[in-house]
Structure 1
Amino acid sequence: MTTGLDPRGPRFAAAVTSVVLAVVVVTGSGWLLAAQAAVFAVGAFAGPGAAPYGMFYRRVVAPRLAPPAEREDPRPVRFAQFVGLAFAVVGAAAYLLGAPVVGMVAAAGALFAAYLNAAFGLCLGCEMYLRYRRVVPARG
């Protein structure tokens, strides 16, 4: 199967995201979290391969690796980007509007999810998508 997503790409992106979000939690930077929200937005609306971390993975990292043994459906990953976007928007708005505790909680929640994906391959947003699809099957 040549279509689909190299599953190592989202894990790479999650590792980069984890570093960015850790810096956000430590520094309380609403602007950095807003930048991460923009990255999530590109992944959510244009697809994970169009997001900056995904593009870097495809162009710089993947050519140095063996081809993936299998590929995965990009829809769960795209949904996970929407979930990350929601956390990042709430967190950035909270930091920038003077509610740092809410900002930190939102950033830490996103960091937790990104770290689980990077370290263990457990994508919480993907799992949410799959559970949703069991309840509400896709049409057509």
Structure 2
Amino acid sequence: MLDPRGPRFAAIITSVVLVVVLITGSGWLALAQAVVFAVGAANIRYAPYAWIYRKFVARHLGPPPPVREPSEPVRFAQGVGFAFMTVGTAGYLAGAPVVGLIATALALAAAFLNAAFGFCLGCEMYLLLKRVRAALPTR
């Protein structure tokens, strides 16, 4: 279970990184963000931005709220971010900057929704897929 402020903090950093990627067109920075997403998808506890939040930010915010978030939707969201940034990285590094720009802009839109409004698009996708899967007939 996660402190819900942690993923939102990570989304703020992610948004800043993705804006820099869009401004500079840096495939290497896009790759670095893709790696951050990959680590978060594998185990959110080891995600770099989550570590920064726990180590330097959380203690200054006071106790976490009593309601915690499950980690699975956040990990799924990180996986979606990884997919978009893999495409973005490939676009930038392969000389197809329009592909990189579009994929990065989509990832930024999702990160910004979480950073600014606390709405995790990837988490909502996870919950929707879970409901659809539960509604499907079993064999």
TM-score (norm 1): 0.93
Distance (Å, rounded) in 1 between the aligned partners of 2:90 and 2:128: 29
Q: Give 3-state SS (helix, strand or coil) of 2:7's partner.
A: helix
Cα drift, residue 135 of structure 1: 1.1
Structure 1 residue identity aligned to 2:60 = R
Equivalent residue number for residue 63 of structure 1: 59
2:92 maps to 1:95:
yes
Equivalent residue number for residue 114 of structure 2: 117
Q: Residue deviations 1:26-63, cap 9 Å, x none?
A: 110010000000000000012x2210000010111001
* Matching residue within 19, 33, 39 for 2:16: 19
Equivalent residue number for residue 137 of structure 2: none
Mean Cα deviation higher: 58-67 or 89-98: 58-67
Mean Cα deviation higher: 121-130 or 65-74: 65-74
How many corresponding residue pairs?
A: 133
Q: Give 3-state SS (helix, strand or coil) of 2:100's partner.
A: helix
Identical columns (%): 65
> Where does structure 1 differ by over 3 angstroms across 4 or more consecutive aligned residues?
none
Q: Give 3-state SS (helix, strand or coil) of 2:115's partner.
A: helix
Equivalent residue number for residue 77 of structure 1: 74
Structure 2 residue identity aligned to 1:111 = L
TM-score (norm 2): 0.94
CA RMSD of aligned residues (A): 0.7
Distance (Å, rounded) in 1 between the aligned partners of 2:45 and 2:19: 23
Q: Residue deviations 1:93-133, cap 9 Å, x none?
A: 01100100010000000001000000000100000000001
